[in-house]
Amino acid sequence: MRVPIMVFTGLMAGIGLTSLAASTDAFAQTRTLTEAECRAVRERLAEHARLSDGVRRDLASRTRSLPVTQPPVWGAAPAPPGGQAEAIRARLEKIPEERQHLEDTRLASYLRLELGRAAEIGKQIQALDTEKANLEKELARLPATALGAPSAPTVSRWPAPAIASDADHVPCQDAPAALDAAVRIRQRELGAKEGQSGVVPLASFKGQNADQIAQELSGQFTAWPETANQVGLLDQEGRGRVDAFVDVPAANIFRLYRQRADGTLTVDAFSLPGRPGEPAYGEMARRVEEATIRQTGRSIADLLAVRPAGPVRVLGETAEFARAQAFVLAGNYGEAARVEGGGARTTDFQNLRGESVRVVEMIAPTQSGLLLRRVVATPRPNGEEQWEETTTILRPVSSWRTEVEVRRATERRSAAGVSLAPRSASVTVTFAVDR
């Protein structure tokens, strides 16, 4: 079978930027926000502020001249005499501090996707809340002081929503502009081009299971198919460093690439609940991709450099490419190999740094499986380009095992496609992946 070959013909024109991510577009209207919309924008602002010094400074400058809302003072029950009442009050004083510590620990667990540990900490928080409620009831049942004089009211140490952050002081009519500025600040801090339409600085995950995380991610991206050309950046500890990113390979599927403490990369997929039929991004495809990344030593920066962060322009595509690619994403390599003629597609787009990237993708059957070839051209100084070609051969040996062979080669070329240096090829990597 003859496989079509496409040749690059030079640097394509850059793609114009569109508006910011739809998380801000939804509120960038002149109409008055509803109470729920205002609260949602402020919550998103608070999340960005928690992760960014720049956003905190921006919010402080916006709210410096505004009147400060005083924290509420909640009165306590009259202080009962005796050691028992004093012991209860002492314990009630300590519970908020313990609870805040647990909340911080749970948040850190969410950021590292340690969902089991986060769930356990959630149970401890519930136990503290139950203990607090029981102690307050017990304190209320104790007799009053002999003189009947009420004790001085105590100020609750629970965080009051009205003063949780400067985001809560931003007037509702100014909140959309503040959120737009926060997104731009975080884009710049995370190494992206400010205002890049497809770059979404993500808020931290609060869900305790995969379905909840999928719902949260769905709320931060635009709707399909526009979201296919977006990339979400996650800064786990607010250090201005991308520790993970999310893309959307298929409708309602969110794919998370993250770096563990030992430096290895993992790939996780979150699917919105209620999807009928076979998954558009299959478990075998996820496992093959994760193993390939590890075996070839790819980093977060390497992967981000060749991800679309805005509109993708299709320069050429064969009739069967979309069908073959759908089988590949589902991990159904046998069906992909049966697509007559395979398929090929050439695209260009801007990555998160605003660089123009061209990609040729080819899918073709082989004697024993499926061949995937991907050539990526990225810009280099002096009008040169770096061409990187990755060839992957997939051999499904059973319903639960796939053998994989990966070869990579790089070459420095001119924008016109003329080779400027000898081709450099890596050692062929072979491994097997089980479902």
Domain membership of residue 390 (yes or no) is yes
Write down the pLDDT at residue 69. Answer: 46
Total structural domains within the chain: 2
Within-domain flag for 203: no
pTM: 0.70
- Neighbour tally for 322: CB within 10 Å: 11
Residue 424 domain-assigned? yes
pLDDT, one tens digit per residue, over 249-292 is 999 999 999 988 788 899 999 998 876 545 789 999 999 999 99
Q: Last residue of some domain: 131, 153, 175?
A: 153
Q: What is the 3-state secondary structure (H, E, C) of the chain?
A: CCCCCCCCCCCCCCCCCCCCCHHHHCCCCCCCCCHHHHHHHHHHHHHHHHHCHHHHHHHHHHHCCCCCCCCCCCCCCCCCCHHHHHHHHHHHHHHHHHHHHHHHHHHHHHHCCCHHHHHHHHHHHHHHHHHHHHHHHHHHHCCCCCCCCCCCCCCCCCCCHHHCCHHHHCCHHHHHHHHHHHHHHHHHHCCCCCCCCCEEECCCCCCCCHHHHHHHHHHHCCCCCHHHHCEEEECCCCCCCCCEEEEEEECCEEEEEEECCCCCEEEEEEECCCCCCCCCCCHHHHHHHHHHHHHHCCCHHHHHHCCCCCCCEEEEECCCHHHHHHHHHCCCHHHHHCCCCCEEEEEEEECCCCCEEEEEEEEEECCCCEEEEEEEEEEEHHHEEEEEEEEEEEEECCCCEEEEEEEEEEEEEECCCCECCCCEECCCEEEEEEC
Q: What is the mean pLDDT of each run of 10 residues along the chain (435 residues)?
A: 35 31 44 85 90 91 66 41 76 85 72 70 82 83 51 38 66 92 94 92 84 90 92 89 93 92 88 71 95 93 94 95 95 93 94 94 93 95 93 93 96 87 91 93
pLDDT at residue number 336: 94
Contact status, residue 220 vs residue 202, Cβ threshold 8 Å: yes
Joined together, the tokens standing for residue 209 give: 């299971």
pLDDT in the model for residue 273: 82
Establish if 261 belongs to a structural domain: no
Residue 338: domain span: 311-434
For residue 417, tell me if it sits in a domain.
Answer: yes
Question: What are the structure tokens assigned to 107, written together?
Answer: 């948040």
344-397 tens-digit pLDDT: 999 999 999 999 999 999 999 998 899 999 999 999 998 899 999 999 999 999
Q: What is the pLDDT of residue 270?
A: 92
In this prediction, residue 21 carries a pLDDT of 39
> Using alpha carbons only, how large is the chain's radius of gyration in Å?
27
Whether 96 maps to a domain, the answer reads yes
Query: Of 119, 136, 153, which closes a domain?
Result: 153
In the chain, how long is the greatest CA-to-CA distance? Answer: 100
CA–CA distance, 25 with 217 (Å, rounded to integer): 16
pLDDT of residue 90: 84
From 134, 153, 172, the end of a domain falls on 153
The sign of the CA dihedral 92, 94, 98, 100 is positive
Residue 385 lies in a domain: yes
322 lies in a domain? yes
Residues, the chain: 435
